[in-house]
Amino acid sequence: MPFQRKNIATMGGYVPGEQVDNDDVIKLNTNENPYPPSPEVAARLKGINSASLRRYPSPTAEPFRESAARCHGIAAENIVPTNGGDELLRLVLTTFAGPGETVAVTRPTYSLYRVLTEIQDNKLHEITLEDTWDLPKEFIQQLSVSNAKVCILVNPHAPTGKLLSVEALTEIASNFDGLLLVDEAYVDFVDLARKHDAVPMAIEHNNVLLLRTLSKGYSLAGLRFGYGIGSAELISPILYKTRDSYNTDYIAQQLADAAIQSRDYARAIWQKVREDRELLADALTKLNFAVTPSQANFLLAKLPDGRSAESLYLQLRSENILVRFFDQERLRDKLRISVGTPSENAALIAALTAKFVCTTE
């Protein structure tokens, strides 16, 4: 492996969920939104003149930044637009956690975090979740002794869908000397009854950043658009120093702006996904899966009778139904299933029923 830095040569690399170019596949494996983006996004796309592409875009995605700030009731200085949420994750390490410094995450969590720490040559400190997937009681103490510069929590948690309250996040941030990055990739799907909004807390604390993405909530995974929310002093070095100088393109800026301005459309979808999530959870429970209550647009479901999740994943795959299997401790007996359309969910349940319900033949 000539010329590679040692940490790069020895690392593995992130393996994204399978992408298929086949409309017959029921794709419940990468938490994509089952509905298209808003009509306003379609209209904005239609109105783009390719001639405008010859010029550089706004380096800081200015129209989107203003719209996002208005949407959250904060200032543009509290927002940094990024090329997908992934870019923000990388930029937080680039900006705040140098090689050899520690980054704390939970175990399990979104697997990209580990990969990013390997690239940045950080030390990774993993704090194991309880059997209920809650943070351990001594989480704050463990975080403190880890001496971490950055702690990344995905909330709602992946791959379980568990939600930490704003109060719990506040307690962590208030007792942590480092920077807390809360990855809110799935936060749009949290039940309204929870009244969950971490934005005010993030703005008030000088050590909290939130990650948002348009990939899930706004049906724009193909567009690569996310943003960070935080105090100006945390946002500023990312926006003006470590970010690639033109990190988002003109069309993406336009469509992201249209998406966030047509939030009411997205809101209706979020509600639909929440309702379908509960229906899907009920159906899986009836098939004796143990389903973790989820506030995201996916469910982590443990198979009945200790059956192999990997072989079920492969069986479903052979029937053109894709779900996600993680070859990791505590997850090998479970599948992560994205909430699809009612007909996609029904097709999955039908396929599972054929396998798990005893038939008298």
Q: In whole angstroms, what separates CA 181 from the centre of its chain?
A: 12
Minimum distance of its own copies from residue 282's CB (angstroms): 25
Residues 55-94 that bind its own copies (CB under 8 A): 55-59, 83-84, 86-87, 90, 94
Residues in the chain: 361
CB 172 within 8 A of CB 140: yes
**Range list of H helices, 127-207:** 139-146, 166-174, 199-204
Q: Which is nearer to its own copies, 174 or 311 (CB)?
A: 174
Count of residues interacting with its own copies (CB under 8 A): 81
Distance CA 78, CA 208 (A): 11
Minimum distance of its own copies from residue 58's CB (angstroms): 6
Minimum distance of its own copies from residue 67's CB (angstroms): 16
Residues 236-275 that bind its own copies (CB under 8 A): 237, 240-242, 244-252, 255
Minimum distance of its own copies from residue 43's CB (angstroms): 9
Residues 340-359 that bind its own copies (CB under 8 A): none
Minimum distance of its own copies from residue 304's CB (angstroms): 31
Q: Which is nearer to its own copies, 179 or 316 (CB)?
A: 179
Our finding on whether 32 is near its own copies (CB under 8 A) is yes
The type of residue at 24 is D
Q: Which is nearer to its own copies, 77 or 249 (CB)?
A: 249
Minimum distance of its own copies from residue 178's CB (angstroms): 7
Sole window of 15-23, 68-76, 124-132, 298-306 interacting with its own copies (rule: CB under 8 A):
15-23
Residue 97's nearest CA partner among 54, 61, 146, 51 is 146
Residue 218's nearest CA partner among 187, 196, 239 is 187
Residue 79's nearest CA partner among 68, 63, 95, 90 is 68
Distances (CA, A) of 180 to 112, 173, 240: 17, 6, 20
Q: Three-state DSSP class for 94?
A: helix
Minimum distance of its own copies from residue 13's CB (angstroms): 4
Q: Using DSSP bridges, classify how beta strands 290-291 and 298-302 pair: parallel, antiparallel or unpaired.
A: antiparallel
Our finding on whether 33 is near its own copies (CB under 8 A) is yes
Sign of CA dihedral 73, 264, 189, 60: negative
- The residue from 127, 143, 198, 234 that contacts its own copies (CB under 8 A) is 234
Between 116 and 155, how does the x/- string for binding to its own copies read (CB under 8 A)? ---x-x---------------------------x------
- The residue from 117, 122, 155, 215 that contacts its own copies (CB under 8 A) is 215
Q: Which is nearer to its own copies, 252 or 331 (CB)?
A: 252
What is the DSSP secondary-structure string of 252-268? HHHHHHHHHHTHHHHHH
Distance CA 264, CA 33 (A): 16
Distance CA 7, CA 232 (A): 32
Residues 149-188 that bind its own copies (CB under 8 A): 149, 178-179
CB 111 within 8 A of CB 336: no
Minimum distance of its own copies from residue 149's CB (angstroms): 7
CB 255 within 8 A of CB 321: no
- The residue from 61, 97, 135, 284 that contacts its own copies (CB under 8 A) is 97
Q: Which is nearer to its own copies, 58 or 320 (CB)?
A: 58
Between 293 and 332, how does the x/- string for binding to its own copies read (CB under 8 A)? ----------------------------------------
CB 294 within 8 A of CB 160: yes
